[in-house]
Amino acid sequence: MNREDFFETFLKEMPNNTGIHDPYPLIQKNIKDFLNELSAKLSFLTNNIKKLQIDNILIYYIENQIGIELEEKPYGLVITSVGKNPLFKKQPPYASDLYIEILKDSNKSLIISDATLTTNSFKTWKRLFNQGYKISLYDMSKPGQTFKTIETIDQMEQYFKTNNKDYEKYRYVLSESNRLIETSYRFGIKRYRELSGT
């Protein structure tokens, strides 16, 4: 079961750098669809943040400004899309603000980049690092052997290049300090299995 949960959370899809793309219109449509669905659960968080949930799909958003869609996995929340109203570009609210509230709200305490990572999304990861949050990354092909926690912005940037396909295999993990040991433990077990061939 642990192997299946690890695969489901950390290895299910290969990441790729999509450059610049903003799925905000699609997120707006999904919010409307969710609000019209009787089984959807609507919650109100702080700072005007709302949360919609149907089964394991969650949308955190600030009305007409910004939205983040995630899928709940066994060990964390995987981001499926992030979008912001063009009228609020380069000004608050930022996606990093929502990520922080999502960490507080979720019992998972891990947010993982998904199969796509835009240039703007990468800026969000850098902003979270600068705010003191723990950012780790790993190579999808050898997660146990490559898992590392970022120490500097320069170190993070060397893994994100739009013109080099080798960099598309990396995924990023956002965690609070007290959950980093738990995550490192899971990757340590994965490393042992990789090296022993089991």
* 73 alpha-carbon distance from chain centroid: 11
Q: What is the DSSP letter of 86?
A: G
Residue with tokens 């996995």: 73
In sequence order, the 6+-apart residues with CB closer than 8 A to the CB of 85 are: 24, 64, 65, 66
Q: Could you read off the pLDDT of 127-157 as tens digits, one per residue? A: 889 988 888 888 878 888 888 899 998 888 8
pLDDT band at 7; cut points 50, 70, 90 = very low
| Average pLDDT value for residue range 11-25 | 54
Structural contact between residues 86 and 27, judged by C-beta atoms closer than 8 angstroms: no
Give the domain ranges of the chain.
2-196
Angle made by CA atoms 24, 26, 28, in degrees to the nearest 5: 70
Q: Could you read off the pLDDT of 46-60 as tens digits, one per residue? A: 879 999 999 989 999
In sequence order, the 6+-apart residues with CB closer than 8 A to the CB of 146 are: 137, 138, 139
Q: Could you read off the pLDDT of 82-126 as tens digits, one per residue? A: 888 989 988 888 888 888 899 888 877 678 876 556 677 778 888
Three-state secondary-structure class, residue 114: coil
pLDDT at 15: 40
**CATH 3.40.630 correct for 2-196:** yes
Q: Could you read off the pLDDT of 170-194 as tens digits, one per residue? A: 888 888 766 666 777 666 766 767 7
